[in-house]
């Protein structure tokens, strides 16, 4: 019985006018989207290679004077994510590089240099197509599966036989979904072929991630399909189903994610990055000034009345005392600065985390938001990548502080009467031995762990509508 | 000779819908093998409700439906093995051919190993044009659809057949052909319960005719009794009469 229903459902869907339309949409848009994104990725890889080459060249020519003067920043570039061909995510919003200085790191320009009209309308990548187009088609396909059969009378004809209702529902769901999935799968294969024929490398765990994308997308389609079935079992007429699914689709795709973000901004408002950056700059200036005054005071106190040239005489006891005090003041100032900057950073990070957490939790009511979040993390263009990028930046700053910046000391002093003086000291540094910036991407296990809530949301939307449809259909009035 | 057990039996069957309407009021009827029972009545008289109850599409409020001795409410799936159904507007899958529709419903009816020839044979038997066998059903006339509908019932080979106004909207020739097929099925020993508005054809084909009014079976006559009575007059009298009295 089940097989008979599945077969009939597949054939009926294939013979329907909607099927060729869907097949054309899939077979055209998915491979085309991948081709365009692959070309864009290849261009960004070339740009990245060139920028890294220039940055390396600049770093190798770096003189200690440049670092002492603070005129040259060391740059760490983020390589484009290969799987951004599936979804752009934060790819174009993330800084292309970070600059590292003695004062800390700061983001460079973002990768968004696309001047096409899509910058305004949204990129047509794989996830966009699945979220906006395929989900709607899945809903449309499923929306009249029960109500349509009731309206046409075929439901009565079927149930006049020894056919259990749960078998009928399972068969219709299975068959309808398979008919929907086949063109999608073929389009996905074509897309993969397009990628491979463009010398796109699927090595380094990318194959496993592509398979995860395929599986997650299939489940996402099934989710929307079962939601459509659930709607269909609740409506007496196909037209009612259609209206209901359009409302649901708009709610899941557009309203919930936007509303979640807006609600989070209202409930947990945060300062802008510029405000925080300004606060940090002011703090640094104030602390530097304080340290400079203290250094000037101590300098004046030690060398006051000493014979001329004592300050430059490395063997003089005053000079030794001064160096000890200077290092001590600078160390304390550095520690204080680091501590207070960390407090600002942590407070801001907490504010952001709280806002983000609320936005994410609310948006996960929508399976589309959950899907997009999961896939972008699988592709290395999501929230997880942003966190990993920042983690790598912090680690690199620390490494540079140890290997480079700590070896260059600038001593600003403000003496009595407001006179300022600057002293430099530096230890030799081999630029070739400076640490290279690199990002360790999230592993698949980390991705799954970080997306537990997204996966839970998807699982809920997969199971709950089917359970609802089952309960409704068992008592469905077939007349 | 002892009477055969009825294939279709309604035992004190009542149905009150959620809105309080009493659609069926203590109906008792039975249809034996080789018998055609015609249910006459105006719209809303309870004819279709009776058929829906036999198919377990709705549960009865009181009473029991039996198909081949099986309580339909208790074991609906088993009961449906023994009954075939043809509705007023035979609804089929328009994008499937006649044979594909027949194949699908035959499999649902438990006939899994039939060949293309078997299907053709059944379609020939119901006088469906040969050229229509592999044509998509969406272009079929109502008469052709009815023929295909009855071929689905034929291929199921169930002892009971439920027909819900099957000749409604058919032209006279198609209706006549339809009745010829019913007559053949009757001769094969099928128990046929047919709801209809068509008094003339009910008299022509029915071994027994029942008139329903407001959910009650107000009259029942055998073919023999109707030889001496004017069914049209009886029907009109009952439709006009009030209050209801059980005949």
pLDDT in tens, B66-86: 998 899 999 989 999 999 998
In DSSP terms, B213 is beta-bridged to B216
Q: What is the pLDDT of residue A71?
A: 66
- Find the range with the poorest average confidence among A462-466, B39-43, B96-100, B167-171: B167-171
DSSP letters for A246-311 = HHHHHIIIIIHHHHHHHHHHHHS----HHHHHHHHHHHHHHHHHHHHHHHHHHHHHHHTTPPTTGG
CA distance A327 to A295: 10
Could you tell me if A477 lies within 8 Å of chain B, comparing CB atoms? yes
Q: What is the pLDDT of residue A272?
A: 85
CA dist A71 to A56, A217, A281, B158, Å?
16, 49, 17, 94
Mean pLDDT of A278-283: 89
The last residue of a domain, from among B129, B157, B185? B157
DSSP letters for B151-218 = HHHHHHT-SEEEEESTTTT--HHHHHHHHHHHHHHHHTT-EEEEEES-HHHHHHH-SEEEEEETTEEE
Minimal Cβ distance to B95: which of A16, A159, A164: A16
- Regarding whether B166 and B218 lie in a shared domain, the answer is yes
Q: Using an 8 Å Cβ cutoff, are A250 and A416 in contact?
A: no
Q: What is the mean pLDDT of chain A?
A: 85
Q: How many percent of chain A have pLDDT more than 70? A: 95
Query: Which two tokens mark B201?
Result: 């054809």
- Which secondary-structure segment (H or E) carries A393? helix A383-403
Query: Which two tokens mark B130?
Result: 């040969």
Cβ–Cβ below 8 Å for A162 and B77: yes
Here the ipTM equals 0.86
Cβ atoms < 10 Å from Cβ of B127: 16
Beta carbons within 8 Å of A329's beta carbon, 6+ residues apart: A291, A294, A295, A298
Give yes or no for residue B128 having a pLDDT over 90.
no
CA distance B63 to B195: 20
Q: What is the pLDDT of residue B131?
A: 87
Q: Using an 8 Å Cβ cutoff, are A145 and A232 in contact?
A: yes
Q: pLDDT tier at A122 (50, 70, 90 boundaries)?
A: low
- Which secondary-structure segment (H or E) carries A425? strand A420-426
Query: Residue A15: is it exposed, middle or buried by C-beta count within 10 angstroms (0-12/13-18/19+)?
Result: middle
Mean pLDDT of A28-41: 87
Q: What is the pLDDT of residue B246?
A: 43
Q: pLDDT tier at B133 (50, 70, 90 boundaries)?
A: confident
Q: What is the pLDDT of residue B1?
A: 44
- Regarding whether B71 and B58 lie in a shared domain, the answer is yes
Q: Do the domain assignments include residue B118?
A: yes
Mean pLDDT of B109-136: 86
Q: What is the pLDDT of residue A115?
A: 53
Number of structural domains found in chain B = 2
Number of structural domains found in chain A = 1
In DSSP terms, A100 is beta-bridged to A74, A105
- What range defines the domain where residue B103 resides? 97-157
What angle, rounded to 10 degrees, do the helices at A18-60 and A165-197 form? 40
Q: pLDDT tier at A467 (50, 70, 90 boundaries)?
A: very high
- What range defines the domain where residue A296 resides? 1-479
- Regarding whether B195 and B125 lie in a shared domain, the answer is no
Minimal Cβ distance to A12: which of B95, B105, B109: B95
- Regarding whether B128 and B35 lie in a shared domain, the answer is no
Cβ–Cβ below 8 Å for B96 and A478: no
Q: Do the domain assignments include residue B87?
A: no
Query: Residue A187: is it exposed, middle or buried by C-beta count within 10 angstroms (0-12/13-18/19+)?
Result: buried
Q: How many percent of chain A have pLDDT more than 90? A: 21
Give yes or no for residue A404 having a pLDDT over 70.
yes
- Find the range with the poorest average confidence among A111-120, A342-351, A386-395, B41-50: A111-120
Mean pLDDT of A370-391: 90
Q: What is the pLDDT of residue A185?
A: 94
Mean pLDDT of B136-157: 86
Mean pLDDT of B31-39: 91
Minimal Cβ distance to A479: which of B57, B84, B109: B57
Q: pLDDT tier at B243 (50, 70, 90 boundaries)?
A: low
Give yes or no for residue A292 having a pLDDT over 50.
yes
Nearest CA in chain A to B52: A479
Beta carbons within 8 Å of A366's beta carbon, 6+ residues apart: A251, A252, A253, A256, A257, A260, A457
Chain B residues touching residue A477 (CB < 8 angstroms): 57-58
Cβ–Cβ below 8 Å for A162 and B108: yes
Q: What is the pLDDT of residue A403?
A: 82
Q: Do the domain assignments include residue B208?
A: yes
Alpha carbon of A153: minimum distance to chain B alpha carbons (Å): 5
pLDDT tens for residues B152-204? 888 888 899 998 887 777 777 777 888 888 888 888 888 999 998 888 888 88
- Say whether pTM exceeds 0.90: no
SS3 B79: helix
SS3 B95: coil
CA distance A189 to B61: 56
Minimal Cβ distance to B57: which of A1, A152, A478: A478
Q: Using an 8 Å Cβ cutoff, are A285 and A172 in contact?
A: no
Q: What is the pLDDT of residue B206?
A: 86
Beta carbons within 8 Å of A45's beta carbon, 6+ residues apart: A79, A80
pLDDT tens for residues A206-229? 888 999 999 999 999 999 999 999
CA distance B79 to B72: 6
Chain B residues touching residue A478 (CB < 8 angstroms): 57
Best probe of the B interface among A12, A152, A161, by most B CBs < 10 A, is A161
Give yes or no for residue B129 having a pLDDT over 90.
no
Query: Which two tokens mark A466?
Result: 């089917």
Minimal Cβ distance to A158: which of B78, B84, B108: B108
- Regarding whether B215 and B190 lie in a shared domain, the answer is yes
Of A109, A111, A95, which is closest to residue A44 (Cα–Cα)?
A111
The last residue of a domain, from among B134, B157, B180? B157
Give yes or no for residue A121 having a pLDDT over 70.
no
- Regarding whether B125 and B75 lie in a shared domain, the answer is no
CA distance A310 to A315: 9
Mean pLDDT of A312-332: 84
CATH code for position B239? 3.40.50.300
Mean pLDDT of A36-49: 88
Chain A residues touching residue B110 (CB < 8 angstroms): 161-162
- Regarding whether B186 and B74 lie in a shared domain, the answer is yes
Q: Using an 8 Å Cβ cutoff, are A149 and A246 in contact?
A: no
Q: What is the pLDDT of residue A181?
A: 93
Reading phi first (left if > 0) and then psi (alpha if -120 to 50, else beta), residue B127 is in: left
User: If you count DSSP H runs as helices and E runs as strands, how many of each does chain B have, helices first?
Assistant: 9, 10
Query: Which two tokens mark B158?
Result: 């169930």
Nearest CA in chain A to B79: A162
Q: Do the domain assignments include residue B194?
A: yes
């Amino acid at each position: 019985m089940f097989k008979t229903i599945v077969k009939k459902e597949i054939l009926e869907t294939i013979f329907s006018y909607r099927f060729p339309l869907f097949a054309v949409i899939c077979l055209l848009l998915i491979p085309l989207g991948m081709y365009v994104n692959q070309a864009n990725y290849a261009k960004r890889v070339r740009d990245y290679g060139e920028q890294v080459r220039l940055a390396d060249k600049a770093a190798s020519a770096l003189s200690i004077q440049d670092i002492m003067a603070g005129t040259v920043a060391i740059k760490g570039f983020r390589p484009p994510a290969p799987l951004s061909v599936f979804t752009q995510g934060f790819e174009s919003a993330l800084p292309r590089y970070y600059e590292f200085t003695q004062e800390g790191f700061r983001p460079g320009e973002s990768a968004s240099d696309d001047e096409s009209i899509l910058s305004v309308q949204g990129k047509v990548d794989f996830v966009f197509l699945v979220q906006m187009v395929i989900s709607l088609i899945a809903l449309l396909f499923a929306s009249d599966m029960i109500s349509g059969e009731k309206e046409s009378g075929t439901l009565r004809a079927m149930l006049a036989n020894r056919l259990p209702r749960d078998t009928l529902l399972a068969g219709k769901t299975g068959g309808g979904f398979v008919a929907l999935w086949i063109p999608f799968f073929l389009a996905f294969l074509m897309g993969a072929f397009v990628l491979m024929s463009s010398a796109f490398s699927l090595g380094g765990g990318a194959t496993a991630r592509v398979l995860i994308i395929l599986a997650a997308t299939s489940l996402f389609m099934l989710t929307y399909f079962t939601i459509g079935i659930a709607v269909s079992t609740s409506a007496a007429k196909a037209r009612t189903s259609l209206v209901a699914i359009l409302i649901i689709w708009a709610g899941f795709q557009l309203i919930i994610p936007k509303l979640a973000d807006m609600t989070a901004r209202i409930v947990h408002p945060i300062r802008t990055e510029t405000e925080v950056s300004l606060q940090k700059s002011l703090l640094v200036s104030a602390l530097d000034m304080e340290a400079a005054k203290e250094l000037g005071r101590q300098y004046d106190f030690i060398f006051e009345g000493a014979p001329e040239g004592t300050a430059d005489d490395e063997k003089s006891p005053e000079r030794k005392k001064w160096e000890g005090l200077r290092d001590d003041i600078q160390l304390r100032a550095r520690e204080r600065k680091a501590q207070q900057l960390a407090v600002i950073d942590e407070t801001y990070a907490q504010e952001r985390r709280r806002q983000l957490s609320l936005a994410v939790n609310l948006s996960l009511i929508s399976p589309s938001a959950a899907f997009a979040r999961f896939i972008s993390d699988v592709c290395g263009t999501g929230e997880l990548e942003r966190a990993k990028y920042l983690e790598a930046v912090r680690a690199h700053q620390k490494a540079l502080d140890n290997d480079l910046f700590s070896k260059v000391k600038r001593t600003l002093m403000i003496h009595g009467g407001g006179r300022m003086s600057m002293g430099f000291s530096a230890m030799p540094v081999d630029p070739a031995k400076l640490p290279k910036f690199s990002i360790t991407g999230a592993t698949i296990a980390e991705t799954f762990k970080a997306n537990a809530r997204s996966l839970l949301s998807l699982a809920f939307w997969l199971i709950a509508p089917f359970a609802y449809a089952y309960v409704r259909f068992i008592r469905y009035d077939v007349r | 000779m002892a009477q055969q057990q009825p294939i279709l039996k309604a035992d004190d069957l009542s149905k009150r819908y959620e809105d309080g309407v009493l659609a069926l009021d203590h109906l008792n009827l039975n249809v034996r093998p080789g018998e055609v029972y015609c249910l006459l009545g105006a719209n809303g008289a309870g004819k279709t409700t009776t058929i829906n109850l036999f198919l377990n599409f709705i549960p009865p409020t009181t009473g029991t439906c039996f198909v081949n001795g099986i309580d339909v409410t208790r074991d609906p799936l088993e009961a449906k093995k023994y009954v075939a159904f043809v509705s007023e507007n035979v609804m089929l899958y328009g994008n499937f051919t006649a044979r594909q529709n027949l194949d699908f419903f035959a499999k649902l009816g438990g006939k899994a190993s039939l060949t293309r020839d078997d299907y053709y044979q059944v379609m020939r038997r119901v006088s469906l044009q040969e050229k229509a066998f592999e044509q998509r059903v969406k272009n079929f006339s109502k008469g052709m659809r009815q023929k295909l509908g009855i071929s689905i019932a034929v291929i199921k080979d169930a002892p009971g057949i439920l027909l819900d106004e099957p000749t409604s909207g058919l032209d006279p020739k198609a209706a006549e052909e339809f009745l010829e097929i019913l007559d053949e099925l009757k001769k094969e020993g099928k128990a046929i319960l047919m709801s209809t508005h068509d008094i003339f054809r009910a008299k022509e084909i029915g071994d027994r005719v029942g008139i329903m009014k407001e959910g009650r079976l107000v009259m029942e006559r055998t073919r023999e009794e109707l030889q001496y009575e004017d069914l049209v007059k009886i029907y009109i009298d009952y439709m006009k009469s009030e209050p209801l009295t059980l005949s």
